[in-house]
Structure 1
Amino acid sequence: MTRKMEERNYYKLKKRETGMNGGVKVSKRGQIAIFVIIAIVIIAVILVIMLYPKIKIITGGTPSPEEFLKSCIVNDVKSSVDLLAKQGGYANPEGFYVYNDQKIKFLCYTNEYYKTCVVQQPMIETHFEQEMDRILEPKARDCLTKLKQEYESRGYSITGNFIDAKTGIEQGKIKVIFNSPLTVTKASTERFNDFEIGIDSKMSDLLAIAQSIVEFESVYGDSETTAYIQYYPDLRIEKIKLSEGTKIYKLSDVITKEEFVFASRSLSWPPGYGVSQ
């Protein structure tokens, strides 16, 4: 009798542990954990959709428009930056100093002695962008034509025209925006208003430092370059003083190897007078 009662009690205990239908009973803590995991997955999917709206599902190994345009123009962007940076931000500088067979734009200049210089370009970064726009626009137009040809060769119908391309120099990158509304159709239709590509660059920092140095040159006739290195540990500055009063500034990033070079002539002294150059 006692043994039968023990067996019934054991059976009742097992039913409570496993549930009435004999299945595995999930604890409340386990249920909460499952709901949390499902919620995280749902949120992750929503974030992908929100943060990457320009990801396009284009089959058959066709690159996205942004990928194609970046691969087409990236080398031209780098070469135009290199050209402008060596010449004070100008493709064809006027008012320059020839140093090592390179025309270097005076960004602050006076031809008089004992006087501080006059700023020649008060908006260095903006002018740099405008020069890049002029250099890159023909190439950007050509890249868009090649994009249309590539898509048409893969069976897509693509309509739209190139309007212009604008360059933007931002912290840590240079971006190129193709203002080119396009409609791409195959199995489905996708519409693009513009295309933006980004290329890693520290040119923004170099141009900001150059602007600051030019301001010091125009007010005080010189600049204390060591102060900048305290705030920009990857920065290297060379200041080359020449006999007739011209100074060549070379600003470079030791990590990216990018460089910006410009000239200044301010508070100069005649040979044999005043302070030593």
Structure 2
Amino acid sequence: MGEKNGKRAQVTIFIIVAIMIVVVILGLIYLMNRGGEAVRPSDLGPRDFIAGCVGDVVRDSVDKMLENGGEILPSQAISYQGNEWGYLCYQADFYQGCYNIHPMLELQIESEIERDTSVGVQSCFNSMREDFENRGYDVKGGATEYSVDLLPGYVKVSLKKDIEISSESGAKSFNDFSLEVVSPIYNLVRVTREIVNSESQFCYFEYNGYMLLYPEYDIRRVDYRDSKMYRVIDRRSGDEFKFAVRSCAFAPGI
């Protein structure tokens, strides 16, 4: 009798262990499948929704600034390898140092980003409103206060807007939607300013020596026609700031 009870106990234990193994396997499969799912907008709160949307809009604009010498579209440029390289320092005459044509480059870029993204930022709030209204909420919004600041290592996006989201169960108010977008653009602009100042004063910038002092940057220069094409690259991120300089150009035939 005791032997039969022992066997039954063993069988019961085996069954319990098998069930536990199956449950664990099913749980892992479920978690793996969830890990591959994209987060839907309706899964996000208003702050997360705006942070994701506005972050993408600002990042796209920062990429334009890096590509076009700090402007949405270069105002004065030279065509090189199928792309327009914006001049930051220019002198039309020969043998003379260039003039810094964008002396307030950092402030200019901040203004350009704000101008380039203002419509996109408002579209983010419109999309958020539509998403919450589709879920049965009532959404009210006030005026938008928006500004951009370049800071070491990131772009600070100051974004204020009174938003009230309500339903039958109650209402919640939101005001501050500020965020930070990681980017080396501030540091790249700082290096660019040093290059432009040197080209303006001395018609030359010792970029090889500069890289020895600051190995986090890779500075490349190509002489094309009577201009210099500069690429200032942040080694860590791979982001680069492109611009052109025409300074102390030699007359043809010399």
State if a TM-score over 0.5 links the two structures: yes
In structure 2, which of residues 108, 125, 142 is the aligned counterpart of residue 161 of structure 1? 142
Structure 2 partner of 1:236: 218
Structure 2 partner of 1:139: 120
Structure 1 partner of 2:161: 180
Residue deviations 1:135-192, cap 9 Å, x none?
1111100100111222333343332234243222211112323231222335454333
The alignment's TM-score, normalised by the length of structure 2, stands at 0.76
Structure 1 partner of 2:62: 81
Q: How many residues align?
A: 212
Correspondences of 1:194-205 after superposition (within 5 Å): 194-205=176-187
- Structure 2 counterpart of 1:110, one-letter code: Q
In structure 2, which of residues 194, 201, 217 is the aligned counterpart of residue 219 of structure 1? 201
Instruction: Give the deviation of 1:247 after TM superposition.
Output: 0.5
Instruction: Give the deviation of 1:127 after TM superposition.
Output: 0.9
Correspondences of 1:2-21 after superposition (within 5 Å): none
- Structure 2 counterpart of 1:101, one-letter code: G
2:91, 2:97 within 8 Å by CA — same for their partners in 1?
yes
Which stretches of structure 1, 4 residues or more, deviate above 6 A after TM superposition?
Answer: none
2:153, 2:186 within 8 Å by CA — same for their partners in 1?
yes
2:57, 2:121 within 8 Å by CA — same for their partners in 1?
no
Larger relative contact order (CA 8 Å, sep ≥ 6)? 2
Distance 1:121 1:188 in 2: 52
- Structure 2 counterpart of 1:128, one-letter code: I
User: What secondary structure does 2:48 align onto?
Assistant: helix
- Structure 1 counterpart of 2:224, one-letter code: L
The alignment's TM-score, normalised by the length of structure 1, stands at 0.70
Distance 1:272 1:264 in 2: 21
2:90, 2:101 within 8 Å by CA — same for their partners in 1?
yes
In structure 2, which of residues 238, 241, 245 is the aligned counterpart of residue 264 of structure 1? 245
Distance 1:191 1:230 in 2: 52
Q: CA RMSD in A?
A: 2.0
Unmatched runs of 5 consecutive residues or more in structure 2? 1-41
2:87, 2:245 within 8 Å by CA — same for their partners in 1?
yes
Distance 2:146 2:239 in 1: 23
User: What secondary structure does 2:88 align onto?
Assistant: strand
Structure 2 partner of 1:120: 101
Residue deviations 1:62-92, cap 9 Å, x none?
5232311122233332222222211111122
Unmatched runs of 5 consecutive residues or more in structure 1? 1-60
Distance 2:219 2:194 in 1: 13
- Structure 1 counterpart of 2:239, one-letter code: E
2:90, 2:247 within 8 Å by CA — same for their partners in 1?
yes
What percent identity do the matched residue pairs reach? 27
In the alignment, structure 1 residue 208 sits paired with structure 2 residue 225:
no
Distance 2:150 2:142 in 1: 25
Distance 1:112 1:217 in 2: 15
Distance 1:226 1:64 in 2: 49
Structure 2 partner of 1:68: 49
Distance 2:153 2:142 in 1: 30
The answer to which structure has the higher strand fraction is 2
- Structure 2 counterpart of 1:174, one-letter code: V
